[in-house]
Structure 1
């Protein structure tokens, strides 16, 4: 099965103003004949004529166009280029749609062959009216070599984990990992960590061979330790840094995940000179964050964890914040970040990186070196340097120190992480991945990488019920099933609030958690859940991404997720790090078909059905009407 359609790349040296969606008649007939091979009789002739009719350029000359279509033969080798009259609205429309054509043209043919064809056959022009005329678009699929030759990651944590002592890590980092109760590395860490460590040799942090390191895409199950797989090598590579510059940028989609990743970095780097910063992770003012990022001596952090929107604002408004020395660009939960624009953050970051890296190095003036790097301006250092280099002026000394600090722009390595990594060609083109490597626990031929990745220790169940008594089924699960730390997911914050109020009418040990709460309140609720003061937290899909709440042994999908990717991230909150977990999905009788189709299309095996009878719910039905009325009154009073 094909992975994704790849838009046809026309090349940068194409003549300015040429419309990219144009095809020669010869190419048209070649496509028509290929399509006709698999179709016989009248159907083949109909399709060929239809494609010719829809894609033929007639420049509003209907009679001439019909005659030409009738006379058209498959072996036609050339055609006269049409030259429509230039009209102002046509020229303007053509300019406005150039970018649209570049993104939407999805011809996946061989580049070299297309270049030869373009040289032999001049392309006819297409008018504005022809551009938007309905047509049959032919889509081609193929898999890049780096996808078909992916590196496999084992999903069985218990069998393929390795001892921490098997890896030659710095003793400080090893000790910090032990304090975090990490004694062995999971399969994804065993594969990714050595790969990243091997690219951190020498002053330029390049590979042992001297070549720039390859970019990496990692697609692995939820709860398998993807965060540590990039935190450990990044901190390791910065242990011996000379000057403090922003070397690693980690972009995550939410405040909660940003805080979680920040805490992991802080724990691993404890006792080292590596400084960690975070923006957008807490309710901190923008001015306070600026002071944390930049000090009077220069950059104040080596690693920055940021949410996309906050990052863009800092790049635009924080003085002296530069990506000139950036070594690592990590995009965690990449599929979710790519699905949302977030103030066009990716373009902003990549433009900033290109501007600073294109110069090759980052010059410093002689006036700012003493302020930022006073240790390099000491008399003993400068005299020895002057004597060794034979220099006699301050400008020569400044230039030499600058070369020592920034010998050249370090090669940037991009790292993409997600449990459901969809390789969108448009986004990957913007990232400009260099010799990328794919590490995945799923077959490379799967249309959506990560689509069927779930922990092997997870048990899945399905419960069908009527919509009227669905809240009572959930109540029965929470009160009677042998699970002690439960996450219950709904499709919206409003549903979360209503459901929580209804469950509390039955004195159920539950609480509501959402993005509206302060971080202190969230931590308090999580502490109550892990301490078994409450049994369940009700939340929406916002909590389903990347959050690691310790000890969750059950996930309940009160509302059926809209697609399987959401299901995967929801149930991924349990059965983490090799622990066992259970997932229940409640679907009404009207949703059964949708649910079964979703599971079938995802390639999952039949999920076990759990039956809950009317007798099980009798004890809750007695006060059900009064509870619903009480919830309605509470919501009405709150709105007033």
Structure 2
């Protein structure tokens, strides 16, 4: 009813279609007109009425003005964002040509939509046009100041984004290059300066007349870093850490054994000054044997911590109590990571306060598998403090920035020596080792930019690679053909699991005619040691192994390596084939490939830098003579495996 009265007052009906906002404005205007008329008729009363209601009307005007102002601000913000967007779109996309801009206008003055096109002189100036003019000015200003006054540097062109290449640190990008030709680049042992007569005689007695290239480069570098003794490095500074990446069988073990013994052989007080850490027991045994060979005749004592003896026996070989104090009995310790940490945690007398050399062999595997837990324990033991009164004057502090204060007191430097055939070039992984100004010796071609995600390695020089296309059922027959038909023995055969290795071992043993053995974690350490010795003596024709024997083990007399199961990773392949063609000798490597494996494997080997892998086809006619016996052997194998499962339950 009230709405009806208002409409009648305004001269409109109920269905006038007028909006609420317009109705209120018209009502306000009507009231102003009525008040003006009343003021003209009764000026005194109007003055009193205006005084009485002035505050109320002013309040209404203020609220309306605030509302209009807020609406205007929102509209300005909206126009500003639209202007910014249009500027960016205008600058990203090219300006349309002049005739393209006029494409929507016809010659007769009609637009595409049919509305007339006004000339500039005929166009009426409205509030909307004023806003457009202000917006145009704002667009021009936005080119230099877009967002809250921030100036945009450079153009708005849609430039192509260039890929950023990862750049190697200088020591990785520019290593000391080792000569790859082992046979022609030999250095006579007499030409190596800094070696004692005792070591030269030892080398001569062991049949070594020349040093390989890796030995000729690395041995002088280690000797130079310790030419002022074990307390000071060159010029009184801490010596640089050394990393060596060279092919398998290139003589890396001797490259650190000879200089370490040369530096330590003149020491009088027995303390652990060299620690060599290796991933497996077999590798620890091999390195310990080399240390013992060249330490013979000196005062140096070599101890191995690899679980070959009981914990108590190893503890007794490390130290002894004399006069109420514990004294070291070892100068050089060769250990596996797990056993090393056990001795440090149980305070068995393993004191590393005087450690000078930390040797990490097969460094890439040590980085990947141990997650640096053992290395952090070694660092704690090396840099531990016992209070200023009980410390030696040659106390050692944790590595920090070199300042005058840090160099004011002499301390025994800890130098890390890393060796591997597949040393990673990933700076993030190497950073975990905490290397000090490292120096890299590498036989691989340097690459300053990591544009290629695949790593390349050096392959043994005398190696010839083959791959054999086959089916899963024919793989055992081909192995037998290699030994019985082609007379390739001894053969070191690799399988991906100990179950596969054991099954193949049983199959060949049941077939007969071949001296076969297995080498895996199924055997005890003493059994594995005995098996390797028999294989080296030629008593075993086929040694079927897991990757336990693929890392660094020097097995003499291996003429042929067979990958019964294709390796999944290139590093595994490099270490497997490195068991043959060692020290520049000739060797063969065969890889059995199923149809689905062939393409991926060949690409992996080619990218890794293989000089070339050849295809070897075994004709079915060569296997026919063994197929009858093979089928019978499979039935016998099923019965044997069934019996073994019963015994293990």
Equivalent residue in structure 1 for 2:458, among 453, 464, 489: 453
1:305 Cα shift?
0.7
Matched, 1:304 2:306: no
Q: Quote the Cα distance in structure 2 between the aligned partners of 1:564 and 1:431.
A: 23
Matched, 1:196 2:225: no
- The residue that corresponds to 2:314 in the other structure is 289
- The residue that corresponds to 1:161 in the other structure is 186
Maintained 8 Å contact 2:498/2:521: no
Maintained 8 Å contact 1:451/1:564: no
Task: Check 1:151–1:358 CA distance in 2 against 1; reply closer, same or farther (3 A cut).
Answer: farther
1:402-481 equivalences under 5 Å are 408-445=410-447, 451-481=456-486
1:519 Cα shift?
3.8
561-570 vs 606-615, greater mean Cα deviation: 606-615
1:28-39 equivalences under 5 Å are none
1:20-419 equivalences under 5 Å are 141-168=166-193, 169-280=195-306, 282-297=307-322, 298-341=327-370, 344-356=373-385, 362-363=391-392, 408-419=410-421
- The residue that corresponds to 1:588 in the other structure is 594
Equivalent residue in structure 1 for 2:632, among 619, 622, 626: 626
Deviation digits for residues 328-355 of structure 1 (CA, Å, limit 9, x no counterpart) = 0111000011111268212211232232
Maintained 8 Å contact 2:231/2:410: no
Q: Quote the Cα distance in structure 1 between the aligned partners of 2:471 and 2:284.
A: 39
Task: Check 1:226–1:74 CA distance in 2 against 1; reply closer, same or farther (3 A cut).
Answer: farther
- The residue that corresponds to 1:18 in the other structure is none
Structure 1: any 5+ residue segments left out of the alignment?
1-39, 43-71, 81-137, 365-406
Maintained 8 Å contact 1:419/1:450: no
Maintained 8 Å contact 1:225/1:577: yes
1:610 Cα shift?
1.0
Q: Quote the Cα distance in structure 1 between the aligned partners of 2:386 and 2:431.
A: 18
Q: Quote the Cα distance in structure 2 between the aligned partners of 1:432 and 1:295.
A: 33
Maintained 8 Å contact 1:246/1:299: yes
Deviation digits for residues 221-247 of structure 1 (CA, Å, limit 9, x no counterpart) = 000110000000000001111211110
476-485 vs 333-342, greater mean Cα deviation: 476-485
Deviation digits for residues 397-433 of structure 1 (CA, Å, limit 9, x no counterpart) = xxxxxxxxxx842111111110000134344333221
- The residue that corresponds to 2:76 in the other structure is none
Maintained 8 Å contact 1:221/1:450: no
- The residue that corresponds to 1:571 in the other structure is 577
Matched, 1:612 2:641: no
SS of aligned partner of 1:141: coil
Q: Quote the Cα distance in structure 2 between the aligned partners of 1:585 and 1:275.
A: 43
Larger radius of gyration: 2
Task: Check 1:203–1:629 CA distance in 2 against 1; reply closer, same or farther (3 A cut).
Answer: same
1:292 Cα shift?
0.8
Q: Quote the Cα distance in structure 2 between the aligned partners of 1:79 and 1:620.
A: 87
Q: Quote the Cα distance in structure 2 between the aligned partners of 1:359 and 1:593.
A: 65
Q: Quote the Cα distance in structure 1 between the aligned partners of 2:478 and 2:233.
A: 57
Task: Check 1:427–1:488 CA distance in 2 against 1; reply closer, same or farther (3 A cut).
Answer: same
1:528 Cα shift?
2.5
Maintained 8 Å contact 2:470/2:595: yes
Maintained 8 Å contact 1:421/1:450: no
1:449 Cα shift?
9.6
What TM-score do the two structures reach when normalised by structure 1? 0.70
SS of aligned partner of 2:528: helix
1:77 Cα shift?
9.1
Q: Quote the Cα distance in structure 1 between the aligned partners of 2:390 and 2:222.
A: 23
What TM-score do the two structures reach when normalised by structure 2? 0.69
Deviation digits for residues 68-110 of structure 1 (CA, Å, limit 9, x no counterpart) = xxxx999889999xxxxxxxxxxxxxxxxxxxxxxxxxxxxxx
Task: Check 1:586–1:74 CA distance in 2 against 1; reply closer, same or farther (3 A cut).
Answer: farther
Maintained 8 Å contact 2:460/2:582: yes
Q: Quote the Cα distance in structure 2 between the aligned partners of 1:604 and 1:358.
A: 56
Task: Check 1:343–1:154 CA distance in 2 against 1; reply closer, same or farther (3 A cut).
Answer: closer
1:193 Cα shift?
0.2
Q: Quote the Cα distance in structure 2 between the aligned partners of 1:41 and 1:278.
A: 73
Matched, 1:530 2:536: yes
Task: Check 1:232–1:287 CA distance in 2 against 1; reply closer, same or farther (3 A cut).
Answer: same
Task: Check 1:476–1:358 CA distance in 2 against 1; reply closer, same or farther (3 A cut).
Answer: farther
SS of aligned partner of 2:584: coil
SS of aligned partner of 1:241: coil
Structure 2: any 5+ residue segments left out of the alignment?
1-91, 95-141, 151-162, 394-408
Q: Quote the Cα distance in structure 2 between the aligned partners of 1:409 and 1:299.
A: 20
SS of aligned partner of 2:304: strand
1:359 Cα shift?
7.6
SS of aligned partner of 1:577: helix
Q: Quote the Cα distance in structure 2 between the aligned partners of 1:272 and 1:414.
A: 24
Q: Quote the Cα distance in structure 2 between the aligned partners of 1:570 and 1:444.
A: 24
Maintained 8 Å contact 2:454/2:607: no
475-484 vs 271-280, greater mean Cα deviation: 475-484
1:205 Cα shift?
4.5
Q: Quote the Cα distance in structure 2 between the aligned partners of 1:449 and 1:224.
A: 23
